[in-house]
Amino acid sequence: MKLLILSCLLAGCLAQKPRPCSSPPLLTGALAMSTQKENMWVYAKYLYDEMGQRIRLMERGTYENKTFSYDLLLLYREATVYEIHRHNRTCNKMPLKGVFQPMAIPKDASLLGQVILGSSSGPGEGLLVNTWTGDLPEKAGKFMSTVTEFGCIPVSTLFHTDRFGWMVLSYFDNVIGILDPQDLIPPPYCQHCGDEGR
């Protein structure tokens, strides 16, 4: 028995080698972000729709000691971002630059390792995760992403770019699916809003 366990440890008879994976195409949850150079903290609720290329971010944060809050609906297919002010029912509509990046570990990422966050001593105490590193698109910098082994749920991502220094994103309270689909559609009062910056 001991020999079997030992050979399992050495050869990894249970563990399959982790593979790059894609996160679920619909996610709702929360995230915290901080950047090194900009001295910024953000806490956001997010909704993520890969097929529709839509993201909603309801965020509050501090930037250089000042607090701010933003409510953004990013519609990549329409290359449009809506800045929504729910309190006075107004909107700013702006062009959205950039390409939609699905939440996934790119195929050319390198596995840094598989670990258990928390503890493996008892049920519910630990979380099996894989950490990957690689280059950002267009050599913009490097990333290090941790996702759960089961389900490929994002846990954290570190980016390094010259512009922002280190940027850390932690995800939590994720659920698969979109809890409120209305949140991914511009509210009615956005239909008549001004096209700023166009």
Residues 88-107 that bind ligand NAG (CB under 6 A): 88, 90
Rule CB under 6 A: choose which of 85, 136, 168, 185 binds ligand NAG: 85
In angstroms, what is the C-alpha Rg of the chain? 20
Are 25 and 49 in contact by the 8 Å Cβ rule? The answer is yes
Distance in Å, CB of 36 to ligand NAG, minimum: 14
Distance in Å, CB of 83 to ligand NAG, minimum: 9
Residues belonging to the chain: 198
Sorted by sequence, the CB contacts under 8 Å of residue 15 that are 6+ apart come out as: 114
Which lies closer to ligand NAG via its Cβ, residue 72 or residue 105?
72
Q: Is residue 60 a contact residue for ligand NAG (CB under 6 A)?
A: no
Stretch that binds ligand NAG, among 17-25, 84-92, 126-134, 139-147 (CB under 6 A): 84-92
Q: Is residue 65 a contact residue for ligand NAG (CB under 6 A)?
A: yes
Distance CA 57, CA 171 (A): 13
**Residue 6: left (phi > 0), alpha (psi -120 to 50), or beta?**
alpha
Which lies closer to ligand NAG via its Cβ, residue 90 or residue 148?
90
Which lies closer to ligand NAG via its Cβ, residue 45 or residue 85?
85
Distance in Å, CB of 63 to ligand NAG, minimum: 9
Distance CA 159, CA 34 (A): 11
Distance CA 99, CA 119 (A): 38
Amino acid residing at 96: L
User: For binding to ligand NAG (CB under 6 A), which residues are involved?
Assistant: 64-65, 85, 88, 90
